A and B are shown apart, each in its own frame.
Chain A
Amino acid sequence: ETGVTQSPTHLIKTRGQQVTLRCSSQSGHNTVSWYQQALGQGPQFIFQYYREEENGRGNFPPRFSGLQFPNYSSELNVNALELDDSALYLCASSLGLRGADTQYFGPGTRLTVL
């Protein structure tokens, strides 16, 4: 157990809809990162938040957005869902900035877009 939780576990949406995924980090962890993992691939970095500010972003379009809250929870929002957004979405928390510390991953949310 890493102490990082994600909800929901599974989600089915249709193309064009919007979705919000949630993550609860370990207490005291100021950094949260979000990843997209397609089947058979390694996780792809979406973005990272440090103390409620975005602190780095991968090659994902603006319809992927996030929020981090003072209570160590965070959200990933995806607008105008596309079929290729179907994937396992993982969040990871760490103590410091830039992922210099060990990252602790949640179990993920499996999103299916029909």
Chain B
Amino acid sequence: KQEVTQIPAALSVPEGENLVLNCSFTDSAIYNLQWFRQDPGKGLTSLLLIQSSQREQTSGRLNASLDKSSGRSTLYIAASQPGDSATYLCALLNRDDKIIFGKGTRLHILP
């Protein structure tokens, strides 16, 4: 059974720092992995989608990597800003067509 873990559960960093969020999973038989951002009480905004054949995707200050063999993905945020404060979730699309989310990392950027 696929399990998705995000560590840490919460993170506070000063503005301007680079940071890495982690997502690990137990079954490498996935179609893709997607990173989302969720603001309090709101829906999810897709940040990056990595297909299983890809190693990384970049969008602006964000870079996501995928290493299926080790069951890990990272989301790198460069030059963090207060507006980056949110909960970041990773989600896998399994080979059984089910989408499994992690519990998320609550990120707080200190001005």
A42 is contacted by which of B97, B98, B103 (Cβ under 8 Å)? B103
**Interface 9-residue window, one of A63-71, A72-80, A94-102:** A94-102
**Which residues of A lie under 8 Å from residue B98 when comparing CB positions?**
45, 56, 58
Q: Smallest CB–CB gap between B103 and chain A, Å?
A: 5
In this complex, the interface size class of chain A, counting residues with CB under 8 Å from chain B, is 20 to 34
Across the interface, do A42 and B89 meet the contact criterion of CB distance under 8 Å?
A: yes
Give the complex CA separation of A1 and B66 in angstroms. Answer: 27
Let me know if A98 and B89 touch, CB within 8 A.
Answer: no
Binds A, one of B12-20, B42-50, B77-85: B42-50
Q: By the criterion CB–CB under 8 Å, are A2 and B43 in contact?
A: yes
Can you report 21 residue pairs joining A to B where beta carbons are below 8 Å apart?
Answer: A2-B43, A6-B43, A35-B101, A42-B4, A42-B89, A42-B102, A45-B100, A45-B101, A55-B97, A58-B98, A88-B41, A90-B43, A90-B44, A98-B93, A100-B32, A101-B49, A103-B46, A103-B99, A104-B46, A105-B43, A108-B43
Using A42-B104, A98-B93 as known contacts, list a sample of 19 further A-B pairs with CB atoms less than 8 Å apart, ordered by residue number in A.
Answer: A4-B43, A43-B89, A43-B91, A43-B101, A45-B100, A45-B101, A56-B97, A56-B98, A58-B98, A88-B41, A90-B43, A98-B31, A99-B32, A100-B31, A101-B49, A102-B34, A102-B49, A103-B44, A105-B44
